[in-house]
Structure 1
């Protein structure tokens, strides 16, 4: 007899998780008309993004890729496996691919992620400011960037480093918030002209 845990979600049942939640294996096959994350065994719909968000995301990824030192790789919107019931897609990640089979890879194991970047949009404020930093810090992702667009249409990048003892993020000591230009040494030396990211 098939147990509830063994059942796969369908396009009709994904919004009704079992009592102990879905696992990634139960939902990864779904073809839903929206992007989603799996958080505590529940499928969470990811909001629609605007043009500026996608352009900034893409240009940050390009700048990181240009600056990346061996062995790092940079990828957009690749799912990260925090555990079997928490699988999320940051806007950009930097990771170490040396232990991974990139031809078979579905999700990057969180242990290999060095930086997660989220570009905040109106539909993702809570997740990007509170939920995802907590998840990434708890699972020991060393660095997190939160990219915000202010009312004057200027970018600010909030840089966080993981505190090893508390497993929470703290503002980067030298430059907790970057305006105009981002310059940091972690996870590798990189400089990004933030104003140029919004030149359309």
Structure 2
């Protein structure tokens, strides 16, 4: 009997090689085991470091998550800092997501499949402006995520939440028709009725 020929699988990234992706980029399976000294996302097959967030950013993120958790209705769940599987070369990690957990196995789940995501919330930091204002909205809209919130801190240290809804025909976001930018208080029916005191999110 002749020898059985096997084709080696794709090489996994290591702590010494992660910055040198192959020509078509890393896949999530090639990099998910890495123990790097920073938080990261996989973007178009490239590992991208997520900048160190300031205290206010993390406080707003966490309080938004708690407010959404308190307001959520079935079947939705809310989680912060969880990667989303857009495809095997794109696994962004939004600040907060609302998703439908039905048919998901939480004991095996590594990233939430993008088709289960209903709302993405990004709190903008100086180092994430381009990603949160341009790249991520385009990515999530192209993959039919119904709602996107962009949270900004203005010069007076007051929060503004930019609310976007999906145009399913063009797969792009448009400003929410009733209140596209929320100041002081966020009131919306999407993805479920919620009312959030924005001043309370950042107050110390």
Same structural fold, with TM-score higher than 0.5 when normalized by the shorter chain: yes
- Over the aligned positions, Cα root-mean-square deviation in angstroms equals 1.0
- SS of 1:161's partner is strand
Which residue matches 2:113? 109
CA–CA distance in 2 between the matches of 1:30 and 1:2? Answer: 24
**1:192 CA drift (Å):** 0.3
Larger radius of gyration: 2
Gaps of 5+ in 1: none
- SS of 1:64's partner is helix
Matched, 1:55 2:35: no
Matched, 1:147 2:151: yes
CA–CA distance in 2 between the matches of 1:179 and 1:136? Answer: 24
- SS of 2:70's partner is helix
Question: Deviations 1:40-61 (Å, cap 9, x if unpaired)?
Answer: 1011111110000000000000
**1:198 CA drift (Å):** 1.2
Written as runs of structure 1 = structure 2, the 5 A alignment for 1:14-33 is 14-33=18-37
- SS of 1:169's partner is strand
- SS of 2:161's partner is strand
Matched, 1:170 2:174: yes
1:198 to 195, 198, 202: 202
Written as runs of structure 1 = structure 2, the 5 A alignment for 1:173-184 is 173-184=177-188
- SS of 1:145's partner is strand
**1:2 CA drift (Å):** 6.2
TM-score by length of 2: 0.96
Question: Deviations 1:122-155 (Å, cap 9, x if unpaired)?
Answer: 1111110111111100111000000000000000
1:161 to 152, 165, 169: 165
**1:36 CA drift (Å):** 0.8
| Aligned pairs, number | 199
CA–CA distance in 2 between the matches of 1:6 and 1:124? Answer: 31
- SS of 1:74's partner is strand
**1:31 CA drift (Å):** 0.4
**1:162 CA drift (Å):** 0.7
2:134 to 130, 137, 143: 130
TM-score by length of 1: 0.97
- SS of 2:48's partner is strand
4+ residue runs over 6 A deviation: none
Q: 1:75 to 1:145 in 2, by over 3 A?
A: same
